[in-house]
Structure 1
């Protein structure tokens, strides 16, 4: 990935996948955001397999797709904070809207990225819809043990500076203030796909039902036996591709 845009003065790396389209043609755009890494050193490979998914969506469905790595991850600058990650996603959506040939922008996120996609859409009414995959309803577990999370973030390699965060209380407060379930209600009536594995051992499937209920008209899909990392479940990807295809068809019909 290469540095594509800035967020809060930080360089954010990403991969842009383009379909083959005729000159002057406009197509929908999709921002894909990854989740929180769990393995030691995992920050470097947070979005490793997502460019392949972006290329597939561009080739098969005709979308312009941006995959990026949040601050502190991959080749992006900075250190992890939940508010900073939300800022990055909003910056990604703004940047993609400025790409030649992009008509409108949707957001898709996995895990933490799914919850933040809902919150980004709540703040940015120009985001046309959201696919939230294996997304937590809130970050209350993190908020209950913020120093433990800070240490874990250092271990997985998404906080690099010993002096970060400069204000721990502010950093920790974001963990309670940013809530996907609250944002889902604000996204309505824009379309939302809530996709979750029934055997997710990281984020309970109950969170998916709570988020869908908060939206009021979400397309809730539970993958039987599905794990947390649905990026690698072909059934989940098939559901996502089908939803995106319908989004494009409905958007084209409104033009």
Structure 2
């Protein structure tokens, strides 16, 4: 991945996949965001398979797709904070809207990235729809043990600076303040797809149901026997691609009406 834009002065690395389109053609844009790294992956590998998914969506479906690594992860600078990751996503949406040929921006996030995509759409009304895959409704479990989370973030390499965070209490407060379940009513009536594995052992499937209820008209899909890593489940990817296809069709219909 290469440095594509900045967020709060921090360089954010990403991959931009473009379809083959005629000059003057406009197409929808999609943001793909990764989740919180596991110990066996580490921050440097957080989004290793997402450029492949981005290229597939660009080539097969004609979207411009941006996938990037949040601050502290991959080749991006900075250190992890939940509010910082949300700021990165909002900066990515602004960047993608300025890319040549892009008409409208949607967001698709996995795990933590899914919850933050919901929060970003609540803060940015120009994000036209959200797909949240295995997304937590809130981060209250993390907020109950912020020092444990801080140590985990150090162990996975997404906090690199020994003196970070400069104010621990403020860093910890963000964890409770960023809540997808509180944000998602503000996303309605925009389209929301909630994809979740029935056997997710990281984020309970109950979280998806809570988010669906809070939105009021979300498309809730439970993948039978699916775990947390739905990026690698072809059934989940097929559902996501189907949703994107419908979003593109609706977008084209809105333009022509």
* TM-score normalised by structure 1 residue count: 0.99
Q: Which runs of 5+ in 2 are unaligned?
A: none
In structure 2, the residue matched to 1:170 is: 170
The Cα offsets for residues 25-69 of structure 1, whole Å up to 9 and x where unpaired, read as 000000000000011561000000000000000011100000000
Structural mapping, 1:15-164, within 5 Å: 15-40=15-40, 42-164=42-164
Q: Deviations over 1:131-185 (max 9, x none)?
A: 0000000000000000000000000110000100001011000000000111111
- Gapped regions of structure 1 (runs ≥ 5): none
Q: Distance in 2 between matches of 1:41 and 1:169?
A: 28
TM-score, reference length from structure 2? 0.99
Q: Distance in 1 between matches of 2:10 and 2:40?
A: 24
Q: Distance in 1 between matches of 2:208 and 2:151?
A: 28
- Matched length: 255
Instruction: Please give the secondary structure, in 2, of the residue aligned with 1:143.
Output: helix
Contact 1:197 1:223 in 2 (8 A): yes
Partner secondary structure for residue 184 of structure 1:
helix
Output the aligned Cα RMSD: 0.6
Match of residue 188 from structure 1: 188
What secondary structure sits across from 2:100 in the alignment? coil
CA distance in 1, matches of 2:145, 2:83: 17
CA contact (8 A) 1:40 1:157 kept: no
Matched residue, 1:252: 252
Would you say the 8 A contact 1:41–1:155 is kept in 2?
A: no
For 1:62 and 1:109, how far apart are their aligned partners in 2?
19
Give 3-state SS (helix, strand or coil) of 1:99's partner.
Answer: coil
Q: Deviations over 1:112-141 (max 9, x none)?
A: 000000000000000000000000000000
